[in-house]
Amino acid sequence: MNYIQTFIAVAEDCKVDHAKVPASRGSSKTVAEIQYEMLSEHPFTYTQEDVLFESWFARQGLDVSEEEKADLRAQFFSKEQPCLRTSPLTRTHGWGMVFDEDGRVALCAMDSPEYTDYLKADDRKVIRALRTKRA
């Protein structure tokens, strides 16, 4: 399920013109906040599966052993999960996601020179994040 040598560009209907750090809403962190913290603090460390599971797990507020967490991860991926093309970072906050040859992911601001370079790169597949609304 992990992307390799791929760039996820922001959604066509993204309403921002530059990348924005997700704002807090309420007492618990949003999926966007959790994913942003993971990827901005540790670029090219996590795979798509790591980001999806860890952001889900963080929102559950569970205090479990590593063995129980591994079981939860297996249960989580026993059902199909949406990919990072549905992440609020790529759909509404203006962040592209770049995957390296090992499937590790990093963020790329839509208003950065690197973003334009990734869009034109021959060495990776370029796909768009899913639209927020149907066309």
Tell me the two tokens of residue 70. 């591994």
Q: What is the mean pLDDT of residues 58-67?
A: 93
pLDDT band at 75 (very low <50, low <70, confident <90, very high): very high
**Other CB atoms closer than 10 Å to residue 5's CB: what's the count?**
14
For 108-134, how does the pLDDT look when each residue is reduced to its tens digit (9 = 90+)?
A: 999 999 999 999 988 899 999 999 877
Q: What percent of the chain has pLDDT over 90?
A: 89
Residue reference for tokens 């129980």: 68
For 34-52, how does the pLDDT look when each residue is reduced to its tens digit (9 = 90+)?
A: 999 999 999 999 999 999 9
Q: Given a cut of 80, is residue 80 above it in pLDDT?
A: yes
* Environment class of 86 (CB within 10 Å of its CB; exposed 0-12, middle 13-18, buried 19+): middle
Mean pLDDT of the chain: 95
pLDDT band at 105 (very low <50, low <70, confident <90, very high): very high
Point out which residues pair with 8 in neighbouring strands: 97, 127
**What is the structure's pLDDT at 135?**
60
pTM for this model (two decimals): 0.91
